[in-house]
Structure 1
Amino acid sequence: MPRKHKKKKGRAALPLFLLIWGIAALAMWVPAVHALVIDDHQTSQSFFYSGILGLMLVAVIGLSLGDKVPQYGMPGQLLSLLATFVVLPVFLAMPVSDALGNTRFLNAYFDMVSAITTTGADIYNDPMRLPPSLHLWRGMVGWMGGLLMLIAASAVLAPLSLGGFEVTARGEPGKRATIPFVEQGNARRLLGVVTKNLAPIYIGLTFVLWLLLIVVGDTSFVALVHAMSVMSTSGISAIGGLENGNSGLGGEMIIFLFMFFAVSRLTFSTDTLITGARRLDQDPEFRLGLMFILVVPLMLFLRHWLAAFEVDATSDFGQALRSLWGSLFTVLSFLSTTGFESSDWDAAQRWSGLETPGMILIGMAMVGGGVATTAGGVKLLRVYALYLNGMREMERLMHPSSVSGEARGRQRLQRNGAYVAWVFFMLFALSLAVISTTLSIFGANFEQALILSIAALSTTGPLIDLAGSAPIQLDILAAPAKMVLCVAMVLGRLETLALIALLSPNLWRS
């Protein structure tokens, strides 16, 4: 009798969302152990049992899938990212709600959406209200959200020409880009390769920053939370900000250097670069970001003399240096959408005599950092594409028959890159108008609605405390307003083009 050959079964693989869920469940045991060490048994039990529950659910769902191998490809990965920012915070908020006991679950959910999208909007205004382990958990969720976006930029967004790559990639948003690195394998294999390459760099930089902050005076706990917040650009702090820490000016200088990793992807990786120079000094994003970092503080510094009739023009040299440093640090912090305030920012405000410094911070946050980094905002590369297009149009006004040459900075931009960047900018403005109007309907005044909308869409939560005439109390907002802000934070993290691409039938057919 002829032998019957058994069909080989493929190795079962968890969908991306279940994999992220399982990692989040395991991560809950870190604050559980921390709470146990500091004798906070209630908090330890909340995280420990929530982690067990999460692993059980992942195991049950994984077993129910059997030997089915997910065949979702790139659209499925993009859908998994959306589920991570919308659905997963329900699970992440369980130990927060249980450990506090005196908070509504909606507030805990809002806090976890804010953390995982690296927004860092603090709904619990008093840091003393939260146990140390909850502060650690908030920092960890923000840190994991930053790592997720770094990996997704190369493995999910770049292949689909989204997340800023629509300006550079050879293709339209939502369609596959001809990137050699992407063609090496399928979506799942690519995800593994990118994670293997980027995760050690991200973890190593966080570890180095943590050690350096300890050296300059911070406690190990505060230094760890701040290190995770800087690398993820979440701006989460366990003590209410850098000004309340012990690292002082030395700590700010160290953090200042590490925030440059959010200005350009080329500071730590070239995996998403298609064409153009690989040198950092020739990267248009880095050069444009450096221009903002130098020019804006210099303007604030010189305004002391330009507006001498409003402020005291006879100040000592030390105060001048403090004001200049406060401007440099804070401008870079908000440009990278981290949102940490320098302890000398008040001195910078007094020196410049500017009545509305919050508008500068709003502008920097809206511009945002580099493509494929943990920063939010419109992104520097899109701003650069619009700048080049504006310069070209001015040139055509003077010389209508001129032919544009290929400048060195244009090598990273596709031919219609400015057009796509303008489309994104209009979508950003439209989203801002809709969200701010909706918040106004639910009770926020014009200033509050505008600041909340920009903070959520640019993933720069500290704007809520610093941009207005007075800090905005998130906990007293109406429940519908909080849900609108959650939608805005997810929209700001994934960007409007990605959500539109998910609704496109062409993406799923491909």
Structure 2
Amino acid sequence: MRRLLDLPLIVILTGIGSLAMFVPAGYAMWTGDFRLAHTFGLSGVLCTFVTAILAIAVLNYQPRSLARSHLAALVAAYTLLPLILAVPFEQAVRSTTYLNAWFEMVSSITTTGATLFPADRLPPAVHLWRALVGWLGGFLIWVAAIAILAPMNLGGFEVVSPMRMGSATRGGRRGRIGMGDPRDRLLRYSVQLLPIYTGLTAALWLGLVMLGETPLVAVCHAMSTLSTSGISPVGGMEYAKAGLAGEFLIFIFFAFAISRVTFSGDFTPYGARSLFEDPEARIGLGLLILVPSFLFLRHWVGAYEVDTVGELPSATRALWGAAFSVLSFLSTAGFVSAEWDVSSAWSGLQTPGIVLLALGLIGGGVATTAGGVKLLRVYALYKHSEREMERLIYPSSVGGSGKVARRIRTQGAYVAWIFFMLFALTLAVVAMLLATTGTEFDESMVMSVAALSTTGPAAGVVLDHPVTYAALNDPGKIILAMAMALGRLETLALLALFNPQFWRN
């Protein structure tokens, strides 16, 4: 086992991806699709053989900095690893290009969920492969956030500990997150989190099957919910057989993307003892109450004007559709409730999809599978604004609430604001590059936000007309795929990788 851990992280990830190809191969064999079973099985054998050769070649390689090597491996995992994962996809889906297959795998492993193909064009085994890659990508960022990014004060942890590693404390003791060899941290947290991740996925799958969902759709939706990839083999919740009960079950599991306290509070610095103490959970709950209430009130006024306000079933369904979609986009999964369009039929008003896009931009919790800006950064800016307003009224007041709170209001808010500016600049650059490829400006802006926030399905609900990624030309697909990788890894991590001091040390 130790010899395997000495291998470069990207080689280990390549081996895991190669072995994962046998899962859809086995499913295709079980369903009698021998062509796809042969495609995935042969691809798995070939890629595993290539990985073994690479492992032998770099077995004695010792990087000068393990932290830098692992951070570079994450960049390669979201850009180069999909080149290998795309091999069985390109062979399984006929009449497509290798670039399209690479785009699909980048979208899956970054848990974005953007797709170039309608659901009915892809075979069931390919849908399973997309969902499985997204599930593995969600687990990768889950573990990497704790084992790699947290010790380097990246991925949102710079808000609570921007000055030095391990400065945040929990319960009066120094965090253990930065101690030990990075390889040991990866192994330790993988072993601790994999049973939780797998168990939650299995529980959701079993619940959906019991509610009448087909096993394939249930497992794909379960993996997509826990990884927040939003991948669906049937095109969304409106085509699922589990109905409202299935949506309610998925709604409960979205909570794991809002706050890390739900599963790994003890593993990370500044972990609250309960959900009630966690600022991310409180902000998420506040948005879950305020945004659906606002949407429901808007449609209620419209229904009052057209004299349909008394239709209680339609009103209840409209409220549920808003609540489910809000939490789905806040977790950056991007599932849209089957009742989302009921609001428009009830009130005669169009539902503002831009609200969902904004929620995807905010994103979920730090050290979760969710993307976006992260709720903890929003909380830091909120606390800083609250303190500045307080000083306008009481100029001589002293801010309290302890050392960690003061750090969040000052250095944490400063770093969060830098991240917001970098995110806005990146968004402008990506949208401008997409526009130069011939994409309409509004569509390029929507797709850029969806890619950088890893909320791929958002493109289909924001504008009056659905935005399809299939309309992109080849340069546009490459630009958007790079934006997905950048949105998953975050700009600060990429800047840290190219920091001369980081290489010098």
TM-score grouping bracket, smaller chain normalisation: over 0.9
From 352, 358, 364, the equivalent of 1:363 is 358
Amino acid at match of 1:59: A
Tell me, yes or no, if the aligned pair for 2:256 and 2:263 is still in contact at 8 Å.
yes
For residues 137 and 412 of structure 1, the distance between their equivalents in structure 2, rounded to whole angstroms, comes to: 44
Q: How does 1:158-169 map to 2 (within 5 A)?
A: 158-169=150-161
Q: How does 1:443-454 map to 2 (within 5 A)?
A: 443-454=438-449
Amino acid at match of 1:122: T
Instruction: Summarize the Cα distance change of 1:408–1:225 in structure 2 as closer, same or farther, 3 Å threshold.
Output: farther
Shift of residue 69, structure 1, vs aligned partner? 4.4
Does residue 339 in structure 1 map to residue 334 in structure 2? yes
Question: Which residue in the other structure is 1:395 paired with?
Answer: 390
Q: How does 1:98-497 map to 2 (within 5 A)?
A: 98-124=91-117, 126-171=118-163, 180-275=175-270, 277-307=272-302, 311-351=306-346, 354-355=349-350, 357-406=352-401, 410=405, 413=408, 415-497=410-492
Question: Which residue in the other structure is 1:40 paired with?
Answer: 33
For residues 17 and 414 of structure 1, the distance between their equivalents in structure 2, rounded to whole angstroms, comes to: 37
Question: Which residue in the other structure is 1:24 paired with?
Answer: 17
Instruction: Summarize the Cα distance change of 1:165–1:313 in structure 2 as closer, same or farther, 3 Å threshold.
Output: same
Shift of residue 352, structure 1, vs aligned partner? 5.6
Greater shift, 94-103 or 401-410, is seen at 401-410
Percent identity between the aligned chains?
Answer: 49
For residues 112 and 62 of structure 1, the distance between their equivalents in structure 2, rounded to whole angstroms, comes to: 23
Per-residue CA deviations over 1:273-316 (Å, capped at 9, x if unaligned) read 42463111110000000000111101111223444675445331
Shift of residue 408, structure 1, vs aligned partner? 10
Amino acid at match of 1:57: V
Unaligned runs of 5+ in 1: 1-8
Shift of residue 44, structure 1, vs aligned partner? 1.4
Shift of residue 42, structure 1, vs aligned partner? 1.8
SS in 1 for 2:152: coil
Amino acid at match of 1:230: T
Question: Which residue in the other structure is 2:66 paired with?
Answer: 73
For residues 27 and 11 of structure 1, the distance between their equivalents in structure 2, rounded to whole angstroms, comes to: 18
Amino acid at match of 1:481: G
For residues 499 and 464 of structure 2, the distance between their equivalents in structure 1, rounded to whole angstroms, comes to: 42
SS in 2 for 1:292: helix
Shift of residue 418, structure 1, vs aligned partner? 0.5
Instruction: Summarize the Cα distance change of 1:447–1:312 in structure 2 as closer, same or farther, 3 Å threshold.
Output: farther
Amino acid at match of 1:149: I
Tell me, yes or no, if the aligned pair for 1:89 and 1:109 is still in contact at 8 Å.
yes
Per-residue CA deviations over 1:299-346 (Å, capped at 9, x if unaligned) read 111223444675445331111111111110000000000011111101
Per-residue CA deviations over 1:120-165 (Å, capped at 9, x if unaligned) read 00111x2111110000000000000000000001100000000000
Tell me, yes or no, if the aligned pair for 1:304 and 1:311 is still in contact at 8 Å.
no
Q: Give RMSD over aligned pairs.
A: 2.0
For residues 405 and 346 of structure 2, the distance between their equivalents in structure 1, rounded to whole angstroms, comes to: 39
For residues 5 and 370 of structure 2, the distance between their equivalents in structure 1, rounded to whole angstroms, comes to: 35
For residues 331 and 309 of structure 1, the distance between their equivalents in structure 2, rounded to whole angstroms, comes to: 24
Question: Which residue in the other structure is 2:171 paired with?
Answer: none
SS in 2 for 1:372: coil
Instruction: Summarize the Cα distance change of 1:409–1:217 in structure 2 as closer, same or farther, 3 Å threshold.
Output: farther
Instruction: Summarize the Cα distance change of 1:490–1:11 in structure 2 as closer, same or farther, 3 Å threshold.
Output: closer
Tell me, yes or no, if the aligned pair for 2:113 and 2:457 is still in contact at 8 Å.
yes
Does residue 56 in structure 1 map to residue 49 in structure 2? yes
